[in-house]
Amino acid sequence: MKVYCYSKFAFVNEMKRLGWNDITLPKNVAIISICCTEPVKEHWKSEGYEGTEDEHYFRDAENVFNVDFDDIDTATRDCGDFIATCITPEQASAMVKFIIKHHKCDFYIHCNAGKSRSQAVVRYIKDFLGQTREIETRADNPCLYPNVFVLNALRHATGVEIEKCNRG
């Protein structure tokens, strides 16, 4: 089984190359799509950045987890004219449940740059599901600098989910 990690641009190109959409997505793959929150998207647009249409490629597939949070290393950050928000405990818990449910699948993960948020998820899957997975990630960032806040949120959520299972 493999874990693939992409930037948003590379992910969309790969999905188009494979011919995958909500209807044709194979059942033996799981997608984790990480986009920014609306305040950050609006900030990018107001600053005139191109490529700010940070939207999820898949909408209705059951083996896709779409989540929006920003690439910061604290829960929130006041950026003056907007508030950026990192992964919430609820999002982390939902992502952990998704990963557990799809543990036999190949994972395709992306965030905007494919360097921090998505790399945290790659590191989590590698640590949680074991070293038996082949990792295909960006050559310029082979999971060396994952977003530690995201990684720790996922690790914490795992403990909470295991505790819930043990209680019955």
Q: Does domain 2-167 have CATH number 3.30.1360?
A: no
For position 127, what pLDDT does the model report?
86
- Contacts for 101-106: CB closer than 8 Å, 24+ residues apart: 102/30, 102/63, 103/129, 104/1, 104/28, 105/1, 105/28, 105/29, 105/30, 105/63, 106/1, 106/2, 106/3, 106/4, 106/28, 106/29, 106/30
For position 131, what pLDDT does the model report?
64
| Placement of tokens 């310029």 in the chain | 140
Can you tell me the distance from the alpha carbon of 3 to that of 134, in angstroms, rounded to the nearest whole number? 6
Helix and strand counts by DSSP (H, E) for the chain: 5, 7
Can you tell me the distance from the alpha carbon of 80 to that of 150, in angstroms, rounded to the nearest whole number? 23
Q: How many CA atoms lie within 13 A of 82 on its CB side?
A: 15
For position 106, what pLDDT does the model report?
93
Distances (CA, A) of 75 to 71, 142, 154: 10, 25, 13
- The structure's pTM equals 0.89
In 19-73, which residue ranges form alpha helices assigned H by DSSP? 38-46
- Length of the chain in residues, anyone? 168
For position 51, what pLDDT does the model report?
57
Mean pLDDT by 10 residues, the chain (168 residues): 89 94 94 94 82 78 95 92 94 95 94 90 87 66 78 88 50
**Chain-centre distance for alpha carbon 165:** 24
For position 140, what pLDDT does the model report?
58
For position 145, what pLDDT does the model report?
76
For position 21, what pLDDT does the model report?
93
Contact assessment for residue 39 and residue 52, using Cβ atoms and an 8 Å cutoff: no
